[in-house]
Every structure is written in C-alpha cells, then in structure tokens.
Structure 1
C-alpha cells in the first residue's frame, strides 16, 4: 500500500496577511530573485481548480492508497512535503531520497512554472555542496536521482492550446489515469537543466520580447554552447531559445529548435538573427537566420541592458551572464 501526497501550490494571498508575491510557493519563491524567472502569472498561481484534485484523490483511495491532500503556500511548506521522500540517514550525513519509498508525490499543476517550483525545491533539498560530494554520485551529475513525480494537469485545454510539458511528454491528464500511472506505472527519467542562478528548467527558456504591436525587440548578447559561439554579441538578435523539451521550438512560424529531446543528455540552443536581403528589383526583405547548436551547457551574456525571457512559462529579466547545464536523467515522472 502506498501513501500518496497530492500537492497543490497555493498563494500567500490565501493566507492571513499574505500577498501573491515573488516569495510564494506557486510563483517560485525567493530562489529566483537574482535575475531569474520569479514567477508565473497571477492567474496561473492563484486560482486552482479543486475538481481534478478531488477526483484524483478519490481514484487513489479506491485503489487502496492512503491519500493526503496538501496546499503549500511557501517554499517551507513544499519542503515539509518533500521531507517525506527522504531516505534513511547516511554515514556522510547527507539528506538523500529513498529509492524504495512507499510514499508517492502527485503535483497538481496549473502551469509548468508550478511544476518547476517543486522540482527546484527537490534539487535544493538533495543536491550536496561541492565540498561534500559523495563517491556514489555520478560524475556527470550534481544531484542524485530525484524521486518520481505524478503530474496532475489542472487545465485540460492546455494539452492542445499551449502544449504544456505534460502534453509534450504524453502524460495522462485524466485524474483517474494519473492515479493509475502513480500506483501501477513506471518512472520515466528525464534530463534537467540547472543554472548558476540557483533555479532549474524542465522544458526550456525563450529570451527576447516584442513591443505592444507585436514587433520583435532586437537585443545583443554572446551565446555559447560548449565550445561553439552562436553569436559573439555583435549581431542583432530577435530571440534565443534554450530547449530541454520542445515548448519553445517555434517563434510564430519560424522553427527555432530542431528536435529537442529531454532524454538525450543534451541542451539544444538556437538564436534568430534578422538578415536584410534585396530582391532583383531592389526591394529590401528581412528574413530570420536561425543558428543552432547542441551540447552539455550554454551561456548567455547580454550586452546591453536587461533581456526579458520566459523560463518554463515564468517571466523574468536577464541582466548578467547566465549559464545552464544538463543533468542527465536527474528527475522523473510517473507514466503509464
């Protein structure tokens, strides 16, 4: 028999004297203040449908699971839930996940940013400091295998309108199907992007923005993937896509990323550079030149001011150099 915690991310606004700010659990907490994405939009993080949660809880209970529903309104409350996934004490004193745990976690998500908030807290809990790196940690990883998560999407329409991460991965969306995957399914391990700002990326990030009329705002920045330089900072850029999965593979009708795969241990990166050409009649035309590269790590250094971006759907501004690197197979989801 499994103990299942069905976790919903609430808002500090729901608590007495609270407010829906950058410190709330559902908006990513204070971990992302240093120039990273600080939160999902208010409508994503403050209005959580209860019907799918209750339906999933009923389906789990009918299968004999002991179910507890928890609403976390802060990082500390998320951490209290994640502590139930801890393994027995280690001789080195590190907090480590229990690979044989009989407790399973289901995260009810209104957005990919909410799912990311939970995975980031898992990383913060189980990632050892460099000075305490154990011998049993894989050489290409900074975190152990994180516990698998059941994902309960709260908005079925996102599977077709916005292609959230659950839709990209082909995860079940029906509450009863989610319950079956958590109890009877298998853990599918996925790559994780960590960054030097202390956060994580599950799907991808898109750097760049448009004005009120929809025209792209040009910016400059140096973008490197391993030893490959996609732009040295002199080119005008429309966008830079950093893909673990395929959520930011297209910009309007322009294909940015090729075939990003969240299980190949690589990050795919693309920059879109506007190039002006002339026809035989002398007419000027602007086309987008897309440069791509794949590797283990990517760095972006803005040259002028701050660059707006979306990271797993959460908004932020990048004003200094930021590096992302791949943690192969670091996190996992329960799938049928």
Structure 2
C-alpha cells in the first residue's frame, strides 16, 4: 500500500448504495450506517434491488463519492463497475461491511474496520489508500487473491449422497467400528492437475509436472507486483514475483476472491499498480 492521501473537497458528498443482501442480513447495522453517514455528510441513499440497479446507481453518482454497504461480493461488484468505467483510480470507494463473517474476509484483510459505526466514520474521515488490482484478459478483476485449486475427484453422485441414506450408512459404519477394529486405509493421493504457468514470460511450471494449486496475490501499491505460489505434491512450492501471470492447460476453474470463474483453457492476469482507492482509517497500513 502507498501512503495515505486525504480526500478531496467532495469528500462529504456521498452516494450510499445499500446492497439488498445487507438489508436482508442485518437491517439494524444498515440503519446505524445510514444514520452516521447522514449526520456527517450530504448523503444520497440508494436501495437497488439487484446487480443491474446496483451498477446503474454507481454509474450515475456524478461528483458524489461512493459508499457501499454490504459484503465482499458487493465490494467486488463496485470495483468491477468502476473498472468497466475505467475510473477506479479517480473514485475513492468506501465500504461499510455488513454480512456474515465468512463473507467479509476480503474486506477485513484490506483493512476495513469491522462494525457499522467505525466503518461509517472511516467513510467520512478516513484517508484514501491506493491498492493494486489484478485484471484478466476478459476484463475480470481480483482485489485480493486468485486461487486455482485442483478439481475434486469426487463424482457428482457421491458428492450428492445425502439424506436418509447417508445417515443410515453413518450408523452402520459406527456399529461396525464398535464391533471390530477397522483396518487403516492408505491416505488418498493428492488431487492435482497439469497447468503451464508463466510469470512475465518466464516458465515456472510446464504440463509435465502436476500441481496441487496456483495462487496469485497482489501485494498492494508497492511496485505493482504480484506474488505467485505454485504448490506441487513432490517438491517445495515454487514462488516468483511478476506483473503478468499466464496459466494454461486443460479446462480449469479459478477463484477470483470469492467469485468462481471458468472453465477456461488459458487466462492472463496483469497487475494494475495503485489502480483503485479504498477509504481506510487514518494511519492504517
């Protein structure tokens, strides 16, 4: 992350976009955030019913600074919209995190304070931090971590084996265990897939060496580099830093933050240094 920058003269002209999931999940936190923001700014409140209205509200913000009330998906949706407008660097974004803990891991990892009151005060009086953005060749974005795991080896029928049959099988297994010891079974082999990974044109892994996972993480606004980690079942992880990472091979899926993408045969992610601004507490980072 680079040094904090004070917000401009329009800092207290706010567009507050409240994600519908946040309204359903925790209406009290939403109300508190609205009260704090309205008391400290000229806030225009928008209540979109879905992603299209969410994007439309942001695109019509004018000179108002956007504040999103919602979880990681809402944050990612907002940054994606700003990126499509090619204005993420000009629009400093604020987030009031509202949602389940598992849906706010990205926000908290970026330094957004937990709690509606603290986050709303940060939206009013915080400082802008420039953050890197990973952008792929289909114009998708990654705010934090890109992860390419090996595919599950379980067939769909086994994965869907639930309900009464599953309960009965569990009971039967427990009875057998109590009657006689169950012989130990060898651990399942690690799940792998074959991927070619290049970092700034340098080959890090080829198709002849199976990998368990590939992880690419943007490192903030310092130098515009991403950290690449390739894990294999037979050796130490391979690590590198790069501005662009290309992954290719058999059809693979990937996790861009909390969004699942693919399947694709090839994809390139490029670091855009300091490409978007997030309001964080003064002195953070």
Q: Which TM-score band applies after superposition, normalised by the shorter structure?
A: 0.7 to 0.9
Q: Secondary structure, in 3 states, of the residue corresponding to 1:289?
A: coil
1:117 offset after TM fit, Å?
1.6
Contact 2:22 2:30 (8 Å CA) reproduced? no
Q: Secondary structure, in 3 states, of the residue corresponding to 1:235?
A: coil
Which one of the candidate residues 100, 105, 108 is aligned to 2:66? 105
Summarize deviations over 1:274-312 as a string: whole Å, max 9, x none.
11xxxxxxxxxxxx521011011100002x2x2232111
Counterpart position of 2:192:
218
CA RMSD of aligned residues (A): 2.6
Are positions 1:151 and 2:73 aligned together? no
1:78, 1:64 → 2: CA distance? 22
Counterpart position of 1:8:
18
Are positions 1:197 and 2:138 aligned together? yes
The verdict on how the C-alpha distance between 1:6 and 1:168 changes in structure 2, with shifts beyond 3 A counting, is: same
Which one of the candidate residues 9, 19, 43 is aligned to 1:66? 43
> Please, what TM-score do these two structures have when normalized by structure 2?
0.75
1:52 offset after TM fit, Å?
1.8
Q: Give the length in aligned residue pairs.
A: 237
Summarize deviations over 1:173-199 as a string: whole Å, max 9, x none.
221212211111111110111110121
2:110, 2:202 → 1: CA distance? 29
1:181, 1:166 → 2: CA distance? 13
Which one of the candidate residues 237, 242, 265 is aligned to 1:320? 265
Summarize deviations over 1:4-52 as a string: whole Å, max 9, x none.
2222334xxxxxxxxxxxxxxxxxxxxxxxxxxxxxxxxx799543222
1:321 offset after TM fit, Å?
1.0
1:216 offset after TM fit, Å?
4.4
The verdict on how the C-alpha distance between 1:322 and 1:156 changes in structure 2, with shifts beyond 3 A counting, is: same
Counterpart position of 1:332:
277
The verdict on how the C-alpha distance between 1:169 and 1:74 changes in structure 2, with shifts beyond 3 A counting, is: closer
Are positions 1:308 and 2:233 aligned together? no
Contact 2:68 2:96 (8 Å CA) reproduced? yes
Contact 2:22 2:69 (8 Å CA) reproduced? no
Q: What are structure 1's unaligned runs of at least 5 residues? A: 11-43, 86-100, 127-142, 245-260, 276-287
Contact 2:17 2:54 (8 Å CA) reproduced? no
1:72 offset after TM fit, Å?
4.7
Pairing 1:29-44 to 2, within 5 Å after superposition: none
Larger helix proportion of the pair: 2
Pairing 1:1-336 to 2, within 5 Å after superposition: 2-10=12-20, 48-75=25-52, 77-85=54-62, 101=63, 103-110=64-71, 112-126=72-86, 145-155=89-99, 157-158=101-102, 164-208=105-149, 209-212=151-154, 216-244=190-218, 261-264=219-222, 265-275=224-234, 288-302=235-249, 304=250, 306-336=251-281
1:176, 1:165 → 2: CA distance? 19
1:71 offset after TM fit, Å?
2.1
The verdict on how the C-alpha distance between 1:5 and 1:64 changes in structure 2, with shifts beyond 3 A counting, is: closer
